[in-house]
Amino acid sequence: MTPSPAVGIEAAAVLLPEDRDRAEAAVEAGRLTPRQAHEVGHRELPASRGLSAPDMAAAAADEALRGARVDGKELDTVCHAWMYYQGHDLWSPAHYIAHRVGAHRAVPFGVQQVCNGGAAAIDLVGARLAARAREHGGAPGAPVWGLSTTGDRFSGPGFDRWASDYGVGYGDGGTALVLRSPVGPRTPLAVLAMATVAAPELEAMHRGSDAFAEAARDLRPRVDMRATKRDYLRRHGGEGFARVNEESIVGVTEAALRRAGLEGSDGRIRRALLPRFGRKTLEGSWIPLLRERLRADLVDVGADTGHLGAGDTPAGVADLLGGDRLEPGGVALVYSAGAGFTWSCLVVQAPPR
Integer Cα distance of 65 and 180 in angstroms: 12
What is the model's pTM? 0.96
Sorting pLDDT into bands at 50, 70 and 90, what band is 2?
confident
Same domain? For 130 and 39 the reply is yes
The predicted-structure confidence for 115-153, as pLDDT tens digits, reads as follows 999 999 999 999 999 999 888 765 556 899 999 999 999
Vertex 203 angle, CA 32 and 310, to 5°: 60
pLDDT of the residue at 323: 80
Same domain? For 216 and 339 the reply is yes
Sorting pLDDT into bands at 50, 70 and 90, what band is 353?
confident
pLDDT of the residue at 137: 65
The predicted-structure confidence for 174-219, as pLDDT tens digits, reads as follows 999 999 999 999 999 999 999 999 999 999 999 999 999 999 999 9
- The CATH number of whichever domain residue 64 belongs to comes to 3.40.47.10
Sorting pLDDT into bands at 50, 70 and 90, what band is 1?
low
Average pLDDT over residues 43-59: 97
Is the residue at 54 inside a domain?
yes
Average pLDDT over residues 160-187: 96
The predicted-structure confidence for 221-234, as pLDDT tens digits, reads as follows 999 999 999 999 99
* Res. 32: pLDDT tops 90: yes
If one counts the domains in the chain, the total is 2
pLDDT of the residue at 4: 72
The predicted-structure confidence for 56-76, as pLDDT tens digits, reads as follows 999 999 999 999 999 999 999
Range of the domain at 50: 7-186
Integer Cα distance of 284 and 242 in angstroms: 10
Same domain? For 290 and 142 the reply is no
Neighbours of 250 (CB within 10 A): 16
pLDDT of the residue at 135: 84
pLDDT of the residue at 36: 93
Same domain? For 151 and 218 the reply is no
Same domain? For 21 and 136 the reply is yes
Q: How far is the CA of 332 from the CAs of 193, 209, 291, 298, 348, in angstroms?
A: 11, 40, 14, 10, 6
Average pLDDT over residues 254-264: 97
The domain boundary, picked from 127, 158, 186, lies at 186
